[in-house]
Structure 1
Amino acid sequence: MDNKIVSVRAQQIIDCKCRPAVEVEIRTESGATGRGAAPTGTSVGMHESFVLRDGDPSTYKGLSVHKAVDYAENVIGPALIGMDVSDQRAIDEKMIALDGTPDKHRLGGNTIYSVSIAAFRAAADARAIPLYEHIAGRDIRTVPVPCFNVVNGGRYEGFTQGFNEFLIVPYGTDSIDFSIEMAVAVFHKLGEVLTSYLGHKPQVASSYGYAAPSEDPEMILTLMQKAIDECGYSDRIAFALDCASSEMYDKQTGRYLLKGERVSSDELIAYAKYLTERFNMVFIEDLLDENDWAGYSKAVRELKRTIVLGDDLTVTNLELLRRAHDTHAVDGFVLKPNQVGTITEAMDAYKFAQEHGMIAVPSGRSGGVVDDVVMDFSVGLEVPFQKNGAPRSGERIEKLNFLMRANARSSACRLYDIAPLLRF
């Protein structure tokens, strides 16, 4: 069968936050097709690939992507016609060369990445197998432990919670179905715990978790622990944090926000260390600002009971990962292929991390799409754990169903045993 690309079509769709996104469909001579749309994060690191939007305030408040659609169909499309869809590297390198800028500024990281996903999916379709199997190169043996962002920080009336995401990690089982069941039970129980703490029902936050009830991270983790204990899962569910500290960092003073006060990098590390001693913490992500390299190296030395992950620091970028490895700045990184803008570059970052003993944690974006390709990465690469949103809203639920389906489809498959990686 011929795997040559015969058409590249694009259109504007909307993501789960109702913001325009570019969606691309690639078709091959044999009739195989693949569709891709780049998700966008709510917090976008300064080193991420450029998201091209029209900037016309009269439509979708300037967020439309008609220019990106035009580039996909009329600049990228003609260059890819006739190429072998299974040669992902050649396709991605052709687009990188066409763009010619370090951050994909000309054609847009969102444009290039959407085409990249479409080609990746068409290659799997040509083989009539799921994309995760195409990635794995065989039947999968594990699915990752999902980590659920159940309480969302940020700015609320009367206070600001400096840490962005409070997660639960239901790891004490070898069954993905039971792992998800535990998380759902705890999420619902947490609603009750928060209601009695607040005296009213908690708000739904922007990432669909519960709005943070307090500016004190320790108080939030205590309430989460209460919900876990009341469900009877005390030794089977641990915690994780995504601090997203670049969002709350004051460049002028070089200080961070913690419990309503401004603190130094050292004080924040010391506080995180205290939390890891009080609670079982699988990982802490983005503890410091995306440019605080010295602080990250210190955090890795200090925080012995948790895994230190970079996201805004590393943005799935090979050069930044190399630097992080050389300076011992992180134990692992959050894998978000849209940050770098092609499947090939994301895979190269993953391979580097794997070869150098760094953990890769795939993650959806809050401005996601229902069929986010990151799920195929998670399952196909057989990573230990991945980041999910709260178990609320369709595109997040779909990711959980994806894991359960992939697991059921592969007879010897089980939930990844993360116990050997845990540091508590």
Structure 2
Amino acid sequence: MMKIKEIKARQLIDCKCRPMIEVDVITEDGYIGRGSAPTGSSVGMYEAFVLRDNNPNEYKGLSVRKAVENINNVIAPALIGKNVIDQEKIDRIMIDLDGTELKTRLGGNAIYSVSIACMHAAAKRKGLELYEYIANGAITSVPVPSFNVINGGKYDNLVQPFNEFLIVPYKAKNIEEAVEMSVLVFQELEKVLTNYLGRKPNIASSYGYAAPSEDPEIILELIQSAIDNCGYKGKIAFALDCASSEMYDKATDTYQLKGKQISAIELVDYVEKLTTKFDFVFIEDLLDENDWKGFIYAIKTIDKALILGDDLIVTNKDKLMYAHQNHAVHGFILKPNQIGTITEALDTFDFAHNNGLLAIPSGRSGGVIGDICMDLAVGLHVPFIKNGAPRSGERIDKLNYLMRVADLSNPCPMSDISSLVKFNN
């Protein structure tokens, strides 16, 4: 037994200066586990609820004092004396305390912060790094990173419907080269975009460059130019996070693309043509989070890229089971705060692993230093992950983390994803 002695929560801020929760779980023998819940900018309607105060006098309503109070006054008394190593029991107590499907009573951000703080404390008690604790064995590889370099969205002068344009250095010989290649391409891309725009590109809210065009093909050509200029042609592929729920019009059942409203079939057919011109490792959230028919059509139509669900699945085992039964995705984006506890997130991962589906860890736009998604990525031995742009401290921390783990683990190689790449088929 390693009993919990004390749980303390406080309000801090994330990388976007939005209030977030930080939790300390302290055991009777003095070990401290600390956890924070990141938040996303694109948030699916089925995600665990982020409880905020809606107090206009503090952070324009974004403060999390109520969630902090729920931890200190409701969750902590229920967990004091419990064995911190029994993660499933701890998480079940919190789920039952809340009693709602999306954790709206206590707050998904409250429950999740405590959940990961307990896991950190358990790993420290065993004298292990968290990724070692998760792996329950040796680390044999680190995942291939992918980098969000251009951000879409709604700007003053244009609307780029696809949320993230990513590069994937899948043919790098090791993680150090993968990071270097991507950093150099990101830096070269600024020059390419400056030449295209006649001015320096703006920086988007997720720290990539703001989209210079409404046409996805033009953006991909500009990124390809930066790749080619750096001498990495054939070594770096693309990926897309479309986040199409953001551009879906429910009233007309259409999606925005290049200033027009088009059907799901037209959108899938358009992206399929992109995959014949450019090498894509994966396409994420190609359609709305409720458009199951569209995802099924995409799987049947697009054979040169992996189709992944994020808002569609929200790290929910039941949703992933449904997607698997209906052949709607090749895998999902693993974001444990979407479901609200580590136990539920790992249950979803286990289902994916046992059924030949991919689970791809990702941070959130409102990121934190020491995000547990990196420990999950390494400890679960996933093939590749999603990274943000190579800019901003919490994003650089994730890159340094991968290089550090590779060096400390004998060193270990970067994953070989050649068997997963579909564009060579």
TM over 0.5: yes
Quick one: distance in 2 between partners of 1:416 and 1:303? 24
Listed as ranges, the matches of 1:269-308 within 5 Å are: 269-308=268-307
Quick one: distance in 1 between partners of 2:219 and 2:53? 40
2:30 corresponds to 1:31: yes
2:186 corresponds to 1:187: yes
Shift of 1:73: 1.0
2:219 corresponds to 1:213: no
Q: Where does the alignment leave 5 or more consecutive residues of structure 1 unmatched?
A: none
> Which amino acid in the other structure matches residue 247 of structure 1?
E
> Which amino acid in the other structure matches residue 378 of structure 2?
V
Listed as ranges, the matches of 1:229-268 within 5 Å are: 229-268=228-267
User: 1:202 corresponds to which residue?
Assistant: 201
2:401 corresponds to 1:391: no
Quick one: distance in 2 between partners of 1:154 and 1:299? 22
User: 2:356 corresponds to which residue?
Assistant: 357
Shift of 1:31: 1.3
User: 1:103 corresponds to which residue?
Assistant: 102
> Which amino acid in the other structure matches residue 210 of structure 1?
Y
RMSD: 0.7
User: 1:159 corresponds to which residue?
Assistant: 158
Quick one: distance in 2 between partners of 1:113 and 1:156? 33
Quick one: distance in 1 between partners of 2:127 and 2:182? 33
Shift of 1:235: 1.2
Contact 1:174 1:417 in 2 (8 A): no
Q: Secondary structure at the match of 1:36?
A: strand
User: 2:368 corresponds to which residue?
Assistant: 369
Quick one: distance in 1 between partners of 2:261 and 2:250? 12
> Which amino acid in the other structure matches residue 292 of structure 2?
W
User: 2:92 corresponds to which residue?
Assistant: 93
Quick one: distance in 2 between partners of 1:127 and 1:170? 35
Shift of 1:252: 0.3
Quick one: distance in 2 between partners of 1:240 and 1:319? 26
> Which amino acid in the other structure matches residue 177 of structure 2?
F
User: 2:5 corresponds to which residue?
Assistant: 6
User: 1:405 corresponds to which residue?
Assistant: 404
User: 1:421 corresponds to which residue?
Assistant: 420
Quick one: distance in 1 between partners of 2:52 and 2:257? 34
> Which amino acid in the other structure matches residue 23 of structure 1?
E
- Which contiguous aligned blocks of 4+ residues in structure 1 show a shift greater than 3 angstroms? none
Compute the TM-score of the two structures, normalised by the length of structure 2. Answer: 0.99
User: 2:129 corresponds to which residue?
Assistant: 130
Contact 1:364 1:388 in 2 (8 A): yes
> Which amino acid in the other structure matches residue 194 of structure 1?
L
2:342 corresponds to 1:343: yes
User: 1:177 corresponds to which residue?
Assistant: 176
User: 1:327 corresponds to which residue?
Assistant: 326
Quick one: distance in 2 between partners of 1:194 and 1:150? 12
Deviations 1:16-70 (A, max 9, x none): 0101001110011121111001011001100001110111111011111111111
Q: Secondary structure at the match of 2:24?
A: strand
Shift of 1:173: 2.2
Shift of 1:156: 1.3
Paired residue total: 423
Q: Secondary structure at the match of 2:53?
A: coil
User: 2:115 corresponds to which residue?
Assistant: 116
Contact 1:35 1:118 in 2 (8 A): yes
> Which amino acid in the other structure matches residue 337 of structure 2?
N
Shift of 1:5: 0.6
Quick one: distance in 2 between partners of 1:157 and 1:104? 36
Q: Secondary structure at the match of 2:82?
A: coil
Identity of aligned residues (%): 61
User: 2:52 corresponds to which residue?
Assistant: 53
Q: Secondary structure at the match of 2:145?
A: strand
Q: Secondary structure at the match of 1:276?
A: helix
Shift of 1:412: 4.5
Contact 1:141 1:414 in 2 (8 A): yes
User: 1:143 corresponds to which residue?
Assistant: 142
User: 1:41 corresponds to which residue?
Assistant: 40
Quick one: distance in 2 between partners of 1:380 and 1:74? 33
